[in-house]
Amino acid sequence: MKQKRFLLTEDRIPRQWYNIQADMPVKPLPMLNPSTGQPVKAEDLYPIFAEEACRQELDTEHRWFDIPEEVVEQYAYYRATPLVRAYGMEKELDTPAHIYFKNESVSPVGSHKLNSALAQAYYCKMEGVTNVTTETGAGQWGTALSYAARLFGLEAAVYQVRISYEQKPYRRSMMQVFGAQVTPSPSMSTRAGKDILTKSPHHQGSLGTAISEAVELARMTPGCKYTLGSVMNHVTLHQTVIGLEAEKQMELAGEYPDVVIACFGGGSNFGGISFPFMRHVFSGERKTRFVAAEPESCPKLTKGEFRYDFGDTAGYTPLMPMFSLGHEFTPANIHAGGLRYHGAGVIASQLLKDGYMEAADISQHDSFAAGCMFARCEGIIPAPESCHAIAATVKEALKCKESGESKVLLFNLSGHGLVDMSAYDQFLAGNI
């Protein structure tokens, strides 16, 4: 029998992911095939994603999905992640609020992204796939996928947005250390890339160009599937391990969150920590508030429009009903690369429309100021993305100070910022 390595923590890891689609009072509208206008079926997505991921994507019936044993084994390397009471931060803010954070920065790659990368790589392996491909902006998702691919014996090809490839060399080297092939996008290796470069030879790349290239590679290469690190429902499903663990850990602490807060790029870490708690709001047992923190410069939740839109610039993806700034929107080149996406996931979009969650806009300056304060109090340097969640938490904590209420606040620390120190340098030099 295979020796189990992490007996001490294994029983704290959830054995199932939570599918909020089963409980939503109003189900999301269907994704549409842009050429026929018909709702997308799981089979339509099989050529692109692992088949199990496609089934999970569209499932509105099954509340729980078993986490494969092989994935639990990998989770056991870093899960359960710590739930920490931020006493230092409470003292610094002089607030009666109780502040907790879930520390996803302890994953081997430094962010929550590995929770879904492991699942997607596992399904690809089981389905006989040999190669996986994806896009990455700042590099967190690409790093997570490169490592997960290595663990399950798959080759990984990552298209990295050209400007990040040049400006964030360390994440590129991390992916290469894990054995991935990294190509700056746009590149001459795909039709889509060639078209873009012919039109604008000095194109700096965007998530849109990189998605188009990766999808094309997956379509054209036998045995190759595409994977995505955010936005899609199945990605958020995998991230619910965060909230399910937090729920048990809060119980151990003898508290229950009044407000759950996370930063929002496509919505996977927000959904991951929020959705398990939200099911108790649907059932009427709780009145928890959920706050998504987005950058002021990419405000799809507060200023976007709810409509059908494409997930990528080229228009290769299905049409998705979501809050969007328009698929041709190019966000400012802020340091929180993971939050530079024009749209919000389909589930979160519906929940925002129906009033189950709120959104807060955070300026880049406020995000780094909150990140530095947090680092000085708690000893962890947060990812620029996570700084947005911290800034939103600070706002809630200061409201408590004003009203004298000792609310329980829970935020997700989605990753650490140790590979983003040049951004902190710029902040400290007064250039942000």
Binders of ligand PLP in range 339-358 (CB under 6 A): 339
Contact status: 263 vs ligand PLP (CB under 6 A)? yes
Amino acid at 100: Y
Contacting range for ligand PLP; rule: CB under 6 A; set: 61-69, 81-89, 267-275, 304-312:
267-275
Contact status: 266 vs ligand PLP (CB under 6 A)? yes
Smallest CA-to-CA distance from 395 within 382, 407, 383 is with 407
Tell me the residue ranges of DSSP E strands in 289-381: 289-295, 305-310, 319-324, 358-362
**Contact pattern for ligand PLP over residues 104 through 123, marking x by CB under 6 A:** -------x-x----------
CB 107 within 8 A of CB 413: no
Nearest-10 Cα torsion for 91, 93, 99, 105: -90
Largest CA distance in the chain: 61
Out of 265, 276, 295, 321, name the contact with ligand PLP by CB under 6 A.
265
Contact status: 264 vs ligand PLP (CB under 6 A)? yes
Give the nearest distance from C-beta 296 to ligand PLP in angstroms: 16
Q: How far apart are CA 117 and CA 121, in angstroms?
A: 6
Give the nearest distance from C-beta 112 to ligand PLP in angstroms: 7
Which residues fall within 8 angstroms of residue 361, CB to CB, at 6 or more apart?
294, 295, 296, 299, 302
74-98 in b/e form (b: 16+ CB < 10 A) is bbbebbbbebbebebbbebbebebb
Out of 45, 151, 383, 400, name the contact with ligand PLP by CB under 6 A.
383
Q: How far apart are CA 117 and CA 113, in angstroms?
A: 6
Query: 319-324 and 83-85 as β-strands: parallel, antiparallel, unpaired?
Result: unpaired
Contacting range for ligand PLP; rule: CB under 6 A; set: 156-164, 169-177, 204-212, 382-390:
382-390
Contact status: 267 vs ligand PLP (CB under 6 A)? yes
Out of 208, 276, 331, 338, name the contact with ligand PLP by CB under 6 A.
338
- Comparison of 213 and 385: residue with beta carbon closer to ligand PLP: 385
Q: How many CA atoms lie within 13 A of 9 on its CB side?
A: 15
φ, ψ at 349 (rounded to 5°): -60, -45
- Comparison of 95 and 115: residue with beta carbon closer to ligand PLP: 115
Give the nearest distance from C-beta 55 to ligand PLP in angstroms: 21
Reduced to 3 states, what is the DSSP secondary structure of residue 236? Answer: helix
Give the nearest distance from C-beta 337 to ligand PLP in angstroms: 8
- Comparison of 257 and 415: residue with beta carbon closer to ligand PLP: 415
Contact status: 142 vs ligand PLP (CB under 6 A)? no
Contact status: 313 vs ligand PLP (CB under 6 A)? no
- Comparison of 98 and 171: residue with beta carbon closer to ligand PLP: 171
Q: Which residues bind ligand PLP (CB under 6 A)?
A: 111, 113, 140-141, 230, 263-270, 338-339, 383, 385-386, 414-415
